[in-house]
Amino acid sequence: MGRSPCCDKVGLKKGPWTPEEDQKLLAYIEEHGHGSWRALPSKAGLQRCGKSCRLRWTNYLRPDIKRGKFSLQEEQTIIQLHALLGNRWSAIATHLPKRTDNEIKNYWNTHLKKRLTKMGIDPVSHKPKNDTLLCTDGQSKSVANLSHMAQWESARLEAEARLVKQSKLRCPVEKQVGSVDASMASVKLLATTAGEPTRCLDILKAWDRVWGGKQNDDGVNGIGDIESPTSTLSTTGVGESSTNFFEFVGGNSSGSCDDGATGEDGEEEWEYKDENDMENSIPLTSGFSGVTMASDNNNEHVPGGNFLESFTDLLLSSSGGGHRNLQSGGDSGNDLEPNGVNNSNYYEDNSKNYWNNILNLVNSSMQDPPLF
DNA sequence: AATCGGGCCAACCGCTACCCA
DNA sequence: CTGGGTAGCGGTTGGCCCGAT
């Protein structure tokens, strides 16, 4: 675990890179690849440490970098992934292939964090700052479940990011221009070798089902505390008589979710079950795209495309002059949103939609790894 | 025109995970 | 198994830019 000696050596240049240095580095890497960063500077005739060269390459000179303003979609992606992954910028960057972790980090710190704060959302927890609005019995439980599941999905995304990195390492520099292949490869790798391919994704789908189903139960949370997928996936209702759980019911002979990973029409192996209503087990299909899966659900909860719009509106309205003060109820002090929706419902819906959209994002990223 | 202050971003620093002998 | 070397990550900083005064 020794510390890297790095840039303290005398004679090594620090600070901004000159065009000449860029040219040298670029030319060298184009011809030889970077190989060992430590050895690179001397070979390339640069008075820099390897670390500095690597940074300059990965953050600036790499040919597959998209520069300039972030699109709204990219912003949403960052926010959503940050909600799942936290400050794991490199993991987030793997889902925005043409953006660097440094760029994303900077953009988050200078723009998005402030914007969320303005909106009354805690940029760390991604919850409304006035959390009490959400903490009405079943709600708080559901939020806890949400967080728990988010942790699982977070772990999965991290693993995926790691695989992307590994597959990138195996590719020569000139073949990295589109990290699409790498992402695809990683997903398949994940599906075929990890042994626990897309279960978390399924859990998220089920999660959506839970959110949707919950509303049909007179405010009673439709699910108890959800255990992690590997902890037998059973859930024990807290203070409730019913027990709902996810069950791995098998399917593909390989046991892997190859198709699930790519979002094709393969059959998933997970079912959402209600112990008290075993006949109404709900198969979790992979074709989820914002459509509720529950048979007894009257489709009033339809995340997906709708949310993109509402979320976008929210972002735009908060970043622009027409920003509403969500926390205090706005300039009029009125608890009602313009459309007459009660603020607590407003928060609830937004919170649900917020997380549902993360679900959709993850889902779509599995179907179409390259977002941009 | 000069000064000030805030925003932004490239680059650095320090830590840690990983690899390999 | 251990320890040294390296790459990569996330946090932080320094300096440039630009708008306000």
Q: Does the structure show a pLDDT above 70 at A48? A: yes
Q: What is the rounded distance in angstroms from the CA atom of residue A295 to the CA atom of residue A300?
A: 12
Q: Provide, in whole angstroms, the distance separating residue A214's CA from nucleotide B21's C1'.
A: 58
Considering only CA atoms, name the residue closest to the C1' of nucleotide C6.
A4
Q: What is the pLDDT of residue A155?
A: 60
Strand-pairing partners, residue A274, are A244
Protein residue minimizing CA–C1' distance to B19: A1
Q: Nearest 5°: phi and psi at A182?
A: -60, -40
Mean pLDDT confidence for A192-210: 39
Closest CA to B11 C1' — which residue?
A15
Coil, strand or helix at A291: coil
Which of A359, A80, A345 lies closest to A215, judged by CA?
A345
Q: Integer distance in angstroms from CA A90 to C1' B18?
A: 16
Q: Given 3.40.50.2300, 2.60.40.1180, 2.60.40.10, 1.10.10.60, which CATH number is that of A11-61? A: 1.10.10.60
Q: Which nucleotides of C are covered by protein (CB under 7 A)?
A: 4-12
| DSSP-assigned beta bridge partners for residue A245 | A234, A273
Distance A371 CA to C5 C1' (A): 37
Compute the half-sphere exposure of residue A174: CA atoms within 13 Å on the CB side of its CA: 7
Segment A243-262 mean pLDDT: 36
pLDDT tens sequence across A145-186:
555 566 666 666 666 666 665 555 444 444 333 333 333 333
Select the highest-mean-pLDDT range: A71-75, A243-247, A268-272.
A71-75
Q: Which residue ranges make up each domain of chain A? A: 11-61, 73-372
Cβ atoms of A66 and A85 within 8 Å: the answer is no
Footprint of strand B on the protein (CB under 7 A): A 1-4, 6-7, 13-17, 48, 51-52, 55-56, 59-60, 67, 102-103, 105-107, 110-111, 114, 162
- Alpha helices (runs of H) in chain A, residue ranges in sequence order: 19-32, 40-44, 50-56, 72-85, 89-93, 101-107, 113-118, 138-170, 180-193, 199-214, 258-262, 305-319, 343-367
- What the block records as the tokens of A348 is 């609830």
C-beta of residue A205 within 8 angstroms of C-beta of residue A160: no
* Distance CA A86 to C1' C10 in A: 11
pLDDT at A221: 37
Half-sphere exposure of A230 (CA within 13 A, CB side): 9
Phi, psi for A225 (deg, rounded to 5): -65, 130
The average confidence (pLDDT) of chain A is 56
CA–C1' A316–C14 (A): 32
